[in-house]
Amino acid sequence: MRGNVVTLHLTASGIDSGSHYAAFVDRAAVAAGAAVPTAADVVESSGATMVVAGLTIGRHAFTVVAVDASGRRVTAAATTLNVTVNGPATTVSAPLTARSGQPVQLTLNTFGVTIVDIPGDVSGRTAHYEVLVDGAPPKAGHTITSDAALRTSAVVVTLRALPPGRHEMWVVLADGANQVLDPLVAARAVVTVSG
């Protein structure tokens, strides 16, 4: 597949309405009854649609399981899916937790496209990063407005101090016209800031 974002549409029977899903990416799933960890390689979704972003170029295996309201795997049932990412791809590394009042540092990596901010370049050979904090990821091909995101070509990005709580950061690649690459190339990080 091109790009590095996979959208899974999930359905299950025999689980209660308070349950949700977790995908274990390139790792073994926890056993039935075990707590699902908070980790960069575990993606959770409260609905029937799950977006897995930040995949590197290469083959990946997802194991999707049902999770109850207390965060534990419901049953031994699981679905496994394999995908091969051909790129381009981007990843983001961030701390899982941060202290209130402290800036949050993101480290970005990209494969298959040159990161340089050239206004107007829509050749597909270059792109820059758009960093969105606490917003939904834009759709492929959409234009990002300057007030919606931080535009950068830096590989290390320091975000201002975030208020206490859970914060979701999306890093997407956009061309020189500020249009999100199509297919979508994005990565996601979640940071919990303590008060």
Tell me what pLDDT residue 153 has: 97
Tell me what pLDDT residue 134 has: 94
pTM of the model: 0.89
Tell me what pLDDT residue 13 has: 76
> Do β-strands 97-99 and 114-115 pair in parallel, antiparallel, or remain unpaired?
unpaired
At residue 32, what is the residue type? A
Tell me what pLDDT residue 172 has: 97
Tell me what pLDDT residue 145 has: 84
Q: Which CATH number fits domain 89-194: 1.10.150.20, 2.60.40.10, 3.10.300.10, 3.90.320.10?
A: 2.60.40.10
Tell me what pLDDT residue 4 has: 96
Distances (CA, A) of 54 to 17, 50, 58, 144: 29, 13, 12, 19
pLDDT tens digits along 46-96: 888 899 999 999 999 999 999 999 999 999 999 999 999 999 999 999 999
The dihedral over CA atoms of 50, 80, 4, 68, expressed in degrees to the nearest 10, equals: 30
Please tell me the distance from the alpha carbon of residue 155 to that of residue 33, in angstroms, as a whole number. Answer: 40
Tell me what pLDDT residue 126 has: 95
List the chain residues with pLDDT less than 70: none
Q: For the chain, what are the domain ranges?
A: 6-85, 89-194
